[in-house]
Every structure is written in C-alpha cells, then in structure tokens.
Amino acid sequence: SMNEVDPLLSDRHNFARMVFSTTKPIMFTSWSLAGLSDIYDMAVAVRGGAENFRRSPFMLQYAEPITPLQHPPESLEKLLFCAEKGIPLIYTSSPSMGSTAPVTLAGATVLSNAEFLSGLVIAQIKHEGAPIIYGGASSPMDMRSGKYIYIAPEAKLSHIALKEIASFYGLPNFSTGGCTDSKVFDQQAAIEASQSILLTGLTGSSLIHDVGYMESGFTACLGLIVMADEIIDEVKHFFKGMAVNKETLALGIIDKEGPGGTFLQVEHTLKHFKEIWYPKLINRDTHDKWVRDGSRSLGEVLNERVKWIL
C-alpha cells in the first residue's frame, strides 16, 4: 500500500500504478529532478525506446513557477529536462489575487501570462519545439480567511481569459473543473463541481483537470469523481447542440399526426429516441418505483457505484 512507501519515492510508485491501471494519457507530478528522471526511464521502457517516446509521448509533467515572477530551481530543472527529453509540460501559474498578484482580474492575468511566457521561452531556448501546454489559474484570496479559493466566478473568468490568450499564441491550454472548496461531499460540492464542469467546458479548454478535488485541492473524493463523470457526460451531450434538418424538423410527421395526435408509435420516434441523453446515476423514476427500489439518495447510489468500480 502507499502507506508502506517512502514518501520521497511516492511519485515513482504513483506513476507506475497509473501506467498499469489506465490507457489514458497520464498527467503526473514529480517531487524532484531525480524522480522525474526515474519516471521518464519507466515511460521510455513502456514505449520501447527514447525515440518512440519522443514521437508518441503518453504523459505530461505538471510544474509551476512561484508567483510573483519567480522560477524556483526545482521547477526550472523539470522544465529543462522535459524540453530536452520531449516530455510534454504543463506550466501553470496560479496567482492568488490580492496576495501574490494584483487583486484585479486583469492585473492577475497579466502576471500569470508573463510567468508562463518566460517559462515557455526558457523551454524553447533549451530545445526548439519543446511541447508545452499553457497553464494558468488566477483566483482570489478570501480576505476573511486568507485562503486561496478554488471555485470563484473570478477563477472561471480567469480561465476564459487565459484560454483566449493561449488560442492567440496557438497553444493548447490547461484548466480545471469538477472540483470544490467544500470539505465534505455535500450539496456545496455538487453545486461547485457541476458549475465548474459546465463553465470550463464552455471555454473550450484543451485539458481539464482536478476532477474530484475537494477542499481547494487538499483532498479528493471518489464519490465526487463518479458524480462528475455523470455531469461531464451530460455536458458533452449538451455541447452537441441541436441538429436542424429535414429529418429532425419532422414536419411531415407533425402534419400527419395533427392536433391531439401522439408520436409514441411512429417510426421516427423509434429511429431517434436513443439520441436523448439518459443518466446512469441520476434518478428519473416515478416516486413509487423509487420507493420500491429502496428510496436511495444520490449519495447512496454513488457510494454503491464506487464500491462496484473498486
């Protein structure tokens, strides 16, 4: 178990576990240059050689400058190593508006952009064409508690602004969604996770991370991840929009059925009803059926789903 692992080596163990548990691209963190080097060696072994990895990398290193306007040695080491080896790097500035950045959204955006661009230049000087993803997430400090806030309208406006800047530069961008400032998996968590998934999705960000993060990134919740998966699926369906053509307008069918008609039995309904989005976890049953099935809350359904997945 992870409790038996040396904390200084936990980054290697985390990466190895992810490699054997998913076929999806892996975003990882490393505690040091030595850890990054070991993780790179594992990735090269998986890909069958350094050139194969460079042509088809499957992992992304996450690193940050220190706001305001500092690149700590450990971040620079990782940035330069990634540039040399062809490891895609997410370089994310995270200013706290009112403490480590101007309290105004525009001022924090300027600062965040400068921090990323200076990192980008360093990476390109090391190796022209080094793959790098535009990261940035300005959010206010709560002046009542001194805490960095994950879910704030200013944070989402920052994501929109930074996405537009990244697009102007022709770069992919990193953003967050499906997360919450709540300490427990409660109504606040559901509201904030849902809001952030939709709003970040509307920005068109290239890479959306932090799904399942709670307490401003200090903890995580498996139930929140499962719930967010349902919301993400719904939002993706929403983004498909409405198809408007002769088939979908169904004018002939409307004319045929006429006033007081029904569309349940027509072939057009049979052909298209599966295009409607159906949830796996959200309950739409009648009250009687819900009672017969145990009157379970969404929280209970999510707990059962988590146990089933595990």
The reported pLDDT for the residue numbered 11 is 95
* Confidence tier at 167 by pLDDT (50, 70, 90): very high
Q: What are phi and psi of 263, to 5 degrees?
A: -110, 10
Is 266:257 a contact under the CB 8 Å cutoff?
Answer: yes
Please report, for residues 186, 291, 292, 299, 300, the alpha-carbon distance to residue 286 in angstroms, rounded to integers and kept in the order given.
Answer: 24, 9, 10, 19, 18
Does 204 score more than 80 pLDDT? yes
Average pLDDT (198-209) is: 92
- Report the distance separating Cα 132 and Cα 265, nearest Å: 54
Please report, for residues 244, 251, 262, 272, the alpha-carbon distance to residue 255 in angstroms, rounded to integers and kept in the order given.
Answer: 18, 6, 12, 18
Strands, E assignment, the chain = 26-28, 59-63, 89-93, 96-97, 132-136, 139-142, 147-148, 174-176, 207-209, 213-214, 219-220
Complete domains list, the chain, with CATH: 2-176 (3.20.20.480), 246-309 (no CATH)
* Confidence tier at 4 by pLDDT (50, 70, 90): confident
- State what percent of residues in the chain have pLDDT above 70: 99
Place of tokens 């904390």: 7
pTM given for the model: 0.90
Does 209 score more than 90 pLDDT? yes
The reported pLDDT for the residue numbered 2 is 62
Is 154:105 a contact under the CB 8 Å cutoff?
Answer: yes
Average pLDDT of the chain is 95
Tens digit of each residue's pLDDT (9 = 90 or more) over 254-297 = 999 999 999 999 999 999 999 999 999 999 999 999 999 999 99
Tens digit of each residue's pLDDT (9 = 90 or more) over 236-261 = 999 999 999 999 999 999 999 999 99
Average pLDDT (81-86) is: 98
The reported pLDDT for the residue numbered 142 is 94
- State what percent of residues in the chain have pLDDT above 90: 95
The reported pLDDT for the residue numbered 136 is 86
The reported pLDDT for the residue numbered 1 is 62
Does 80 score more than 80 pLDDT? yes
Q: Show the tokens assigned to 37.
A: 């080097």
Helix, strand counts (H, E) of the chain: 13, 11
CA diameter of the chain? 74
